[in-house]
Structure 1
Amino acid sequence: MITCPNCEHQNPDGAIQCEACFTPLPQLVNCGNCGQPLLSNATFCGECGAAHPFKGSTTTEESSSPPPPPTSSNIPESSSPPPPPTSSNIPESSSPPPPPTSSNIPESSSPPPPPTSSNIPESSSPPPPPTPKPAANARTQLQTQTASLLHVQTDTKLELPQGLDIIHVGKPNDQIPPDLDVSGLPDSDVVSRIHADIRNEAGIFYIEDVGSSNGTYINYNVLPPGNRHRLRPGDRISLGKGDLVTFVFQLS
């Protein structure tokens, strides 16, 4: 098993990325001194103690030269100050405006007529009171995910039992009774009595072949016994050869 450096999840040997968080997993490389296999993220070889062949020293870039100090040759000369104001360049003040007289004062307009009953608009009816809104629920109900398998050949939906960490898939037997019985489906003779297990780990579902006779296939690829595959919506699961008993994993 390979431990994920990010979430410490135990992954099967040969896995390239973590099946829980999809972080790339360290791979086996050969020691440059003794040739023994070791993980690519190891610092020293556990066999001969030599440093990891791919650990290199970092180099620092040379500091750039500081800019030259300012000299009298690159300091611009200050411009000459503007000449002071004189009587020749001060504009003469304009003559003041003439005082108001009776001829240029506009006559006051006549006052508006007092309001009467004829020009007072009738009061409109008061608006209706606002409708009280229902109080929002203080607690939000959490929706639980329901996992199911859609049988492709008969378009039958089989819901996975809730509350079980391990769901046994197969046909009735005396050793481990199945939690998901597929004996009533067509061509179920290719399915072993103890065929596969579906594990529910905090809402994440995995499938594992537990030693079936005709094998388990995920998306047309064989699932080696002892290895498990993280199920995602749309994954195609075939129990046995020939793609005769096929399911599509769904979440709702």
Structure 2
Amino acid sequence: MIVCPNCNHQNPDGANQCEACYTPLPVTINCPNCGAIVQADAAFCGQCGFDLKVIAGTEEGQVSPQTDPAVMPTIVSPVSGIDPGMPSENIPDLDPPDPLVTPEPIVSGKLNLEKSSNPNSPLVIEEPPQTINAVSTPVATPEVSSPSPIGGKAIPAKTQLQKQSAKLLHIRTDTDIELPINLSVIHIGKPNDRIPPDIDVSGFPDSEVVSRTHADIRVEGDSYYIEDTGSSNGTYVNNTPLTKGDRHKLRAGDRISLGKGDLVSFLFQIS
């Protein structure tokens, strides 16, 4: 193979110009000593170190006793691979290649290489003071109480609690009715001109047993109370009738029946 001196492309033997960049390729010959392919204008064989200049001074058909392999054995240096008897002034010096990546130091400390009286003492790495640039990172801080301008007493931070929600589940139709969270008194009944209901049950089956103003649910904090407002067929909690005006504190799972016969019934649920 002939290596292009311009782009280092490997070309087949006998090529006159580079197949990649079309640069004229140097003329090559075979080393008479080892048969390796070398350039015709080379002074020495790069494979065995044979002196190629003696070829030009030898007549065609003659073998110089100095170049006859049988007469003069090749002595190759084990270090450089070149005959130590060859002149070195004709070998061109190669420039060292530039590193691909510039190495960066990874040790920030300084080695203390001073001799110690104890030969077995380990090397000490002195760490120089390091300056760390502070980066402003937003950090979530909890709310703290602030001092009051009057009296110097601390005002506790306002704590927001999630208000629980309640609903009525109609048993026969499996329909959920969310209780309004903005009302302290929730009217249950059917449409009328006196007190419009907040929960209208006129669309449920057998709603004729429910009065127009049947019952109220009162909200006090996290507690819910139900009372009958004078209905014709009564209000029942867990099959127990309520007296008009008497409030009953509701608990999750209580069964509320509007009217007799348990025809319009709901389950009270809290979430």
Relative to the length of structure 2, the TM-score reads: 0.44
Larger Rg: 2
Identify which of structures 1 and 2 has the higher relative contact order when contacts are C-alpha pairs closer than 8 Å and 6+ apart: 1
